[in-house]
Structure 1
C-alpha cells in the first residue's frame, strides 16, 4: 500500500508558495502527496512536476464539483462546463506525471437538494463521467468516485452507490475512492464496505471520525486494515485531516483538531504505519 497525505493537512489552498510541502512529504518517508485541483486557474503543473521529479515523489490529484461545474445540473450549459472542468483536471493530472484523479466528481459538493436524486440526474452524472473517462484513457489517467456523507452529497453516499454509478458509466478506468470520515456516517461496516470495493478500490482517505489524528477517535481501524490486508491492497491511501478552513471548498474546521499540522501528520503517520505492519501492508 502506498501511504501519502493530502496537502490540506498544512495549507488551505495549493499554490506555488506551497511547493515546499512536496519536500516535507518526502522527508516524512511517505510515498506520495495528494494535490487538490480546486484552483486550476493558478495551478502551475510545470512547477509541480519539476519539484516532484527533483525530490522523487509521486502525486495523486483530487477535487470536488461546485455549483458552476455540477454535471447533474438541470442547466445543460453548467453540465457542459462541468465536463470541461473534469477534462481540465485530467490534463493537469497527466501534466504532473500522475495517473490517479478522484473526489466528488459526480455532482455538486454540498448541493442544496430538496429531494432524492432522479434517474435523470444519475444518467447525467454517468453521461459526463463516461466522456471524461474516455478522455482520460488517452493519457492513462484513472478516475475515482468518492462517496461522501449525506450532508455533502445527495447522490453517492456509500460504496454500493459508487459501484452502481461505475456500472452505469461502463468504462474500465472508473474506480472507487473510499473515505473513513464519510464511511463513519453512511456505512454499516468499515470492513464490509472496503471488501465490497474490492479490485475497484483505487484510493483510500484515512481520516478519524472528527477529522483529527487517526487513532484517537471512533473509526474501526482494525476492520479497515483487516479488509485491506485480505485484498492485498497496493493502491494509494492518504491521511486527509484538515487544520484550517478554506474559501475554495468546505472543510468545516471550526476548532483545533490537533496542536498543528506537523503533530497531526507525525502522530497519524505513526499510527497508520503501525496498522500497515500489523496487517501485512508494508
Structure 2
C-alpha cells in the first residue's frame, strides 16, 4: 500500500529528542503517514519513546544515511569495509528499535564527492557487504533500499541501470533501489524510463524539485514521473524531500551543498507538497484510464 511521507528535515535539524517528536506530530498534522529520519544514534535519542510516538500517530518510520570515508564499504581496505558493515548493522538495529521498516540512502559508499573512480574490487566489496546487511535486516523486518544519487555525492551508483547491476552482482534478492527525482534530473537521460527500468526493484521513492524547493517551481517533468510510477504499479512509499538553510543539519548541508533558502516557512511547503503529489497522482491515473479505453 502506497503511503505518502515527508523528510524530517522539513521540520527540524534533528539534533534533539523534542525536535524529532515535533517532526512526527507536524507530519501527522499535515496528513503524512510516513516520516524519514536521518541516521539515529541510539546514544543520543530515546528510540523506544520515538517508536511509541510514531505508533500513536499512525506514522511509519524510515531512516536514511550515508557512510563516512573511514567506513566506506566500497573501499579496498578490508578494515575500513568491516567498520562500514558494523555501522550499517548498528543502523539496521536502530531502525528496528524505533519500529521502522526501512533503511535507505547512500549505504554502499561514502556520502561525498570522490576524487577517484570506483574500482571493481571496491564495487564487489560493497555489493557483498550490502548483501550480508540485507540478510540481517530481513530477519528484523527492515527493508534495505539503495539510493541512486548524483555524481557529486558518490562515485558508485548514479543511475538506475548501475543500481540494477549492483543488485545483480550482490546476489541478493532483498536489496531494492531508492530513486529520487532530484538526482535523476541530473544523471538520467530519461528519468521516467529509469523508473520503468527499475520496475519491481524500486523500493522507495523521493519526490524533490530540481532546486530542492517547492514542487513545480523547477524544471522536473512530474507528469512523466507520475505516469511512470502508475505504469509500474508502484505501491511503496513516496516521500517528499526538500532542504533549505532555514533548517540546518550541518553534516547534510555540507554533503548536499545547501547554501541558500529555498523556502523559509515549512508549514506552507509541507501542505503544498502533499496537495501537489496527490494532484499529480490523480492526473496520471486519469491519463492512464483514458489511454486504456478501447
TM-score (norm 2): 0.91
Mapped to 1, the partners of 2:207 and 2:176 lie a distance apart of: 17
2:269 aligned with 1:278, yes or no?
A: no
Runs of 4+ deviating beyond 3 Å:
38-41
> Where do 5+ consecutive residues of structure 2 fail to align?
287-294
Partners of 1:87 and 1:135 within 8 A in 2? yes
Partners of 1:207 and 1:214 within 8 A in 2? yes
Answer with 51-60 or 30-39: which moved more: 30-39
Give the deviation of 1:189 after TM superposition: 0.9
Give the deviation of 1:14 after TM superposition: 4.6
Q: Name the structure 1 match of 2:249.
A: 246
SS in 2 for 1:279: helix
Mapped to 1, the partners of 2:22 and 2:11 lie a distance apart of: 11
Pair 1:113–1:38, CA change in 2 (3 A): farther
Give the deviation of 1:224 after TM superposition: 0.6
> Where do 5+ consecutive residues of structure 1 fail to align?
none
Q: Name the structure 1 match of 2:104.
A: 102
User: Any residues of structure 2 matched to 1:45-124 within 5 Å, and which?
Assistant: 45-114=47-116, 116-124=117-125
User: Any residues of structure 2 matched to 1:1-282 within 5 Å, and which?
Assistant: 1-18=2-19, 19-37=21-39, 39-114=41-116, 116-244=117-245, 245-249=248-252, 250-280=255-285
Mapped to 1, the partners of 2:153 and 2:3 lie a distance apart of: 27
Give the deviation of 1:232 after TM superposition: 1.6
Give the deviation of 1:39 after TM superposition: 4.0
* C-alpha RMSD of the superposition: 1.5
Partners of 2:178 and 2:204 within 8 A in 1? yes
Partners of 1:16 and 1:47 within 8 A in 2? no
SS in 2 for 1:248: helix
Partners of 1:37 and 1:43 within 8 A in 2? no
Pair 1:21–1:62, CA change in 2 (3 A): same
Mapped to 1, the partners of 2:15 and 2:52 lie a distance apart of: 16
CA deviations over 1:53-98 (Å, ceiling 9, x no partner): 1212111111111122211123322211110111111111111222
TM-score (norm 1): 0.95
Partners of 2:102 and 2:145 within 8 A in 1? yes
Pair 1:70–1:111, CA change in 2 (3 A): farther
Partners of 2:206 and 2:241 within 8 A in 1? yes
Give the deviation of 1:5 after TM superposition: 0.3
In the alignment of these two chains, the number of paired residues is: 280
